[in-house]
Amino acid sequence: MLKQHVLVELKQFIQSLSSVGYRGNPNLTSHSLLRTSLHLLEDLPSAREIVFEYFALVAEVGVQSYVNTTNVDQQTGLVMQQQKIQSNQQQQAPISQEDPCFEVIQQALENMVSKGPSAWGAVIASWSLDLVGSLSDKYSKRTSIGAACNYWLASTTMRGLLTLISICFRKLTNAEAESCVETLLGAYQRYSMTFDWVVARLGGCFPSKIISQILQCSLKKFAENYPCRFDSEIGILEYLCFAHEQVLRVCFKELLQEGFQPKKKLDALVVPFMLDFCNYSDTLLQNMVSVFLEMYNDDLRTTITQKAPLWMTNRTFAEIQPSLNNLVLRLKTHGAQVLITVAKMADQYAWCQDFLEFSLQELEQIVLNARLCPLMDDLATEETKYMLWKSCLSTNIYEQQTAVRLLLIVSTQHSHIYYQTISELLRKSYTLNPSGLGAAIRMIGGQSGVVEFPEIKPGIQMVLEDALLQEQFKRARLATASDVSEALNIFKNLNTITKMEKKNTFFSIRQHQMSTALNECLPKILQILEVTLNKLILRMDADANERSQEKFRDIQNQTNNNTIHVYNSHKKQKLGVVSVDHREEDEDSDYIATRLTLAHTIIDLLNTIEAGSKTQVIRTTEILKLAVLSVKYFFISLKEQSSTLRLAAVNRVYVLFQRQCRARKSSRSACLRELIEGALFYYGYLFGQYEEPIVDELLIPEHEMILVQNQKQSFGPNSNRSILHAGVIGRGLRPENMLMGERCPPEMQSLFLKALEMCCTDGDRQVNTEPYSTISLLLVEMVSTDVMYNGLPFPDEEFTKVTMERDLLIRRAFLTSPILWALLGFIATHRPALCISSVLLRALCATCLHQWRAKNVNKYDTYNLKGELLQSTKNLLKVLSMGQLLPPPLSNLHNIIEHFEPSEVALLLKECVWNYMKDHVPSPPLFHVDNNGLHWRNAQLNKIPPQYVDTLRNLMQKKLTKLGQHYHQMFIMPEVVNLTTNANVAAMPQMRTMPTVVLPTSAPSEVIDLDKSI
């Protein structure tokens, strides 16, 4: 009965369908017909085809109603709504009204899939896919995937079908799912123009399988029908990429691995296919490049090298190759990495060079024409910037120049990258890789053809600022050990590039570009030099102070009756504290050596850019700072251990002195003042200067105190004498030779005097006495402690009692600073500058005179030929002789002064020297200028009166056995010469009238007086 009932119901169902027609009849969606179809599908599964056909008719009615009554935006696929105004209220209502019958069908089919046999899932899914494809193909036009999704999902019927398909997919097994995917792809092939949105929408269920199948289908299409387009495939993959990008990359990776290791004939076309396929989509291209870069290594590079000939011989690849040159320009990320990767292989393969050149030229044209390019966004990222900086230091010239060109291109739009790149490249050391310096030079040259390209000055300022901060905070441990040499690298590179610029070695650098920028940054360079020199000077002063203290302890211990053990223990304790950490001392020594090298390099750079020359416009503050720092560097250079390094350093500063002093008088005045002040007060230890030690650090035993020592004088044969021990309270006796100091080292003295000479010489004039007079004035200012009585005349001897204290201080200055004698000798050779230092000469002469007189009082004092008094007297007489302030024969007095007794020396200084200087004021008008511009004092025209030499003559006559030769030279020979000269002058008129005979001999002609011959 049941079977008979089902067959009757099937017959009635078929008759009803025949009577109502396929569509357009309202009875098609009647409840009775719909209920019958559902019963048949449940009770008679073999009749599912006719039932599904009915369901398709119902779905088509709903879709047709939706299509005919819905107003849709063609670009977006969104349903447009109209606004109806009723009773002054806005009310929105959809235009389309679909029959709800298909919702009943959808519910019934969902129940069958969920509660019925599992076979229904695959059947219903296949029918639904085919129905969706046919309806889409019939009732829609070719649009984008996004617009198609928006359009069809607004339909209740289509949305119900997609929901039904999704439910079926979730119930399928792996085998059934694979069958459904094949059905999906089959429908996609049949309705490829309108079915892509369905595949894209349903791809989320099986993304890996669907993406892989789409790629395989596209590969077959590429192999069978090239050239071909992949619009639908590209659209599906792009749509899926938004939600399943990682799955897409996995599929790309698997496909590329098959292409790099081909096992089938079709695998040989994978690489050309991927290049051509992704050429149509920037999204897919970006993902493919990312996957390739993840896979890329040396092994893959070898594989590509082996397989490249196979691809190059392929006709398909040869046809698509020209379209690949601009692929990299469309990458928003990893584009620069692709170019660098290709550049690494460019030295082996010519096609890599062609690819790079075409891509870079195209990119340059885009920038010059102010067009947009995705690659520019990638070049502006921080990650790419650091990668390009690293490539700029590569030994591969193609990689290096590619990175430089990319940085120059991006700098046209992002100037800060240009400044940062210059700063970064100048920090690196190019000792091991000299070719890396070419990247810095190319960057400084800029981008050709660009009108408003950034200047290099901000980049130079940036790197100098970094170097300044590093030098300032290094000792505060704010910098790492690897940053120690960055400042040195910066100035070495700047110096090298500037020298190349002057030689015009590189055409990429504009003339005077680097020198001009560095001169504009001169204040910052001077700041770095100041920080460097100050720390070197601190270290140099500390070492000198330690040596001075040690020397004084030794002398003091010997004077205070063998108390050496006291000071040695104190010394050992101090050294123990200082040398706690030997490692730190070594680090400091290395750091100081690096600073010294940095100072040398900065001075070299200043000479290279000709800092301080006449052509440079410099503010007064920079002029003075440059002069001060030049002098500091000079004194630091004198501490170089090697004579070769020392001479090289001082020669650098000589050039700097000469250039700035010739250019500006203010520079000359500052240099001279700093040189003399430094030699006398700050760096005197370089020239044998004695320095008083710190009182608190020098202690002696109680029994060696000054009070105890002087109490001993009250006993013995000399108890009635008032002479006491001299010393300093708390430090014991004053050593006899404590104030003797050391002799000024000859090398240091000559280097210092040459520095003064460099500051004084003037290229425009042969002889310029003004600088030497300035030195003389500075000596008076710094040595003389009184502003009064500093005139040129020598007063009466009695007046020296008024200035005795000042004269003793001046004498002590010459005693503790031996360089003062050299300075007096220096200005004495450049007459008449010595006249201005008359107050110093007067003080020296007065103190020596009084001290020689005191020698007669102390009969127990032996006469020391090498004593300080005699040496000071001889030095004074030498200076007066060189300055021509003492005429002959007094100018030779320094050669014989040691042969006289103290009383005789005092007499000579009083009667000969002091009286002559008092009566003949040492002033510049005494000198006349010759044709060479030199100042001389003619002794023949200004003969010395007898009263100034008679004393000397009488004393020398008493010692003719010792001074006979000197007496003849000083007194006899000048008189003979004068008599001869006078006789010749008197005979000149007679010689003009007397005839002469010239004897014809081979020898030179002799002139014979005929009167004498007769």
Query: Is the pLDDT higher at 78 or at 414?
Result: 414
Q: For 957-966, what is the mean pLDDT?
A: 88
650-675 average pLDDT score: 93
178-182, 577-581, 976-980: range with lowest mean pLDDT: 577-581
Q: Is the pLDDT of residue 509 over 80?
A: no
pLDDT band at 1014 (very low <50, low <70, confident <90, very high): very low
* Predicted confidence band of residue 559 (pLDDT cuts 50, 70, 90): low
pLDDT for position 563: 45
pLDDT at residue number 320: 60
Given this model, what pLDDT does residue 182 score? 67
The reported pLDDT for the residue numbered 58 is 77
Q: Helix (H, G, I), strand (E, B), or coil: what is residue 588?
A: helix
Residue 386 pLDDT more than 90? yes
Q: CB count, 10 Å around CB of 991?
A: 11
pLDDT at 20 (0 to 100): 57
Identify the band that residue 384 occupies on the pLDDT scale cut at 50, 70 and 90: very high
pLDDT of residue 86 exceeding 70, the answer is no
- Does residue 562 surpass a pLDDT of 90? no
**840-879 residue pLDDT tens:** 999 999 999 998 988 766 555 555 666 788 999 999 999 9
Question: What confidence tens digit (pLDDT) does each residue in 150-192 have?
Answer: 787 778 888 888 888 878 877 766 666 666 766 776 777 677 6
What confidence tens digit (pLDDT) does each residue in 267-304 have? 777 888 888 788 888 888 888 888 888 888 888 878 87
- Could you report how far apart the first and last alpha carbons of the chain are, in Å? 192
Q: Are 270 and 218 in contact (CB under 8 A)?
A: no
The predicted pLDDT at position 479 comes to 45
pLDDT of residue 774: 93
Spatial distance between the Cα atoms of 820 and 818, rounded to a whole number of angstroms: 5
What pLDDT was estimated at residue 228?
A: 76
pLDDT of residue 598: 92
596 or 577, which is more confident? 596
**3-state SS, residue 158:** helix
Report the pLDDT value the prediction gives residue 79, as an integer from 0 to 100: 55
Least confident range of 297-301, 306-310, 520-524: 306-310
Q: How far apart are CA 173 and CA 686, in angstroms?
A: 96
pLDDT at 993: 44
CA 561 to chain centre: 59
Predicted confidence band of residue 313 (pLDDT cuts 50, 70, 90):
low
Cα–Cα nearest to 364, from 400, 402, 419, 322? 402
CB 751 within 8 A of CB 802: no
pLDDT value, residue 574: 36
Average pLDDT over residues 802-822: 90
Report percent pLDDT > 70 for the chain: 73
CA distance 546 to 534: 18
Where residue 697 falls among pLDDT bands split at 50, 70, 90?
very low
* Average pLDDT along the chain: 77
Average pLDDT over residues 589-604: 88
Q: Mean pLDDT throughout 392-406?
A: 92
CB 651 within 8 A of CB 698: no
Residue 774: count of CB within 10 angstroms of its CB:
21
The whole-angstrom separation of Cα 34 and Cα 644 is 112
Could you read off the pLDDT of 193-242 as tens digits, one per residue?
A: 677 777 777 777 678 877 887 788 888 888 877 777 777 778 778 878 88
**What pLDDT score was predicted for residue 994?**
43
With a cut of 90, say whether residue 103 has pLDDT above it.
no
Pairing of strands 935-936, 1007-1009: unpaired
Whether 364 and 356 have beta carbons less than 8 Å apart is answered as: no
Of all residues in the chain, the percent with pLDDT exceeding 90 is 22
Average pLDDT over residues 23-36: 62
